[in-house]
Every structure is written in C-alpha cells, then in structure tokens.
Structure 1
Amino acid sequence: MSQEETFLEFPCKFPIKVMGRSDVDLQSLVMELVSKHAPELREQDITRRDSRQGNYVSLTVTVTATSKAQLDRIYLELNASDAVLMTL
C-alpha cells in the first residue's frame, strides 16, 4: 500500500479524539484549529467528556473528511498545539 492509499472511502464522517487539560477552553481552540481544514464544522459536531476528577477533557470531533491529506493536516495542526495532550 502506498503512502497515499487508505482503507477509507472519501468523503466520509471521521471522528477525531482530542484530549487536553480542563483548565483550557479546549473546545474553542479545537473548533478554531479544525475549522481551518474543515470549514463546515459546527459546534454540534463536537462532543465533550470530562474526566472523573475533572482535570482533563476529551473531545470527539466528527468531520466530513474529503481526503487523507486533509486528515493529516488536521492531526498536524492539533498536535502542534501545546493545549492538546493527545489525539487519536
């Protein structure tokens, strides 16, 4: 399989999990970063889950992915942020 090949068929709905500390407005930041690459993203496309002790937050951002390159750019943008601890 070449680097550009994928098992996904585009366009498709693709969930991206983003984790960070709860003392940051992670949802607004993620909305801003992901919207650069997926301008159709809406607030209702993001679900939030707080950790048991409230120190961390996990967001699931569902985008309509149009290519592997688009997803790669989104992950690079998110992982470049100091507020983001992990993406899946």
Structure 2
Amino acid sequence: MQEPPKIEFPCPDYPIKVLGDAGETLYSLVMTVMDEHAPGFDRERTTVRDSGKGRFQSVTVFITATGIEQLETIHQALRASPVTKVVF
C-alpha cells in the first residue's frame, strides 16, 4: 500500500474545490470562508463551472495552505452549509 504524498507547508497554489447547489449562495460562502481562513488568496484565479443541467456548480480556489489545521477548518466551514455537497 502506497502512502499519500506529504504536503510541505506553506504550500502555495493549493486547490480547494467545492461542489454544491448552483447559485450565488455557494460562491458567496466560498469567498467568505476563504477571506476568513486564507486571507490574501488570489480571487482572480477562482473558477466557477455549472453542471450540464445547471443544477449544480463547482467553485475552485487556490490558496497558500499554511497547515493541516487551516485545511481542516476550511473544509469544516464549507461542509457546514446545506448548499455544499462535496469539498475536495
């Protein structure tokens, strides 16, 4: 069994992808959480993609990850919303 790769912190360009219900609420949630837990992330690199039928969206951001605690906190904050389906 192969071990997952170790992340060295700080880790620039760390991607976080959130899948959820389409609409402004998901995007706002992601921006609010990133502003709080990854201040200074590059909003220009944020991508939003709609699903084929337009019911769902994915929002991808790139942050400088500073540690496991930060990543766990971000994932918990994003998963706490009912509009969020999956966080990668």
- TM-score greater than 0.5 by the shorter chain: yes
Three-state SS of the structure 2 residue aligned to 1:36 is: helix
Moved over 3 A (4+): none
Q: One-letter code of the match for 1:85? A: K
Task: Structure 2 unaligned segments of length 5 or more: list them.
Answer: none
Three-state SS of the structure 1 residue aligned to 2:39 is: coil
Q: TM-score, normalised by structure 2?
A: 0.84
Which residue pairs with 2:87 in the alignment?
Answer: 87
More helix by share: 2
RMSD between aligned residues: 1.5
Instruction: Tell me the distance in 2 between the aligned counterparts of 1:76 and 1:35.
Output: 15
Matched, 1:30 2:30: yes
> Shift of residue 63 of structure 1?
0.8
Q: One-letter code of the match for 1:56? A: F
Which residue pairs with 1:59 in the alignment?
Answer: 59
Which residue pairs with 1:74 in the alignment?
Answer: 74
Instruction: Tell me the distance in 1 between the aligned counterparts of 2:52 and 2:81.
Output: 24
Q: One-letter code of the match for 2:9? A: F
Which residue pairs with 2:7 in the alignment?
Answer: 8
Deviates more, 1:70-79 or 1:6-15: 6-15
Instruction: Tell me the distance in 2 between the aligned counterparts of 1:23 and 1:76.
Output: 21
Percent identity of paired positions between Structure 1 and Structure 2: 41
Q: TM-score, normalised by structure 1?
A: 0.84
Instruction: Tell me the distance in 2 between the aligned counterparts of 1:34 and 1:76.
Output: 12
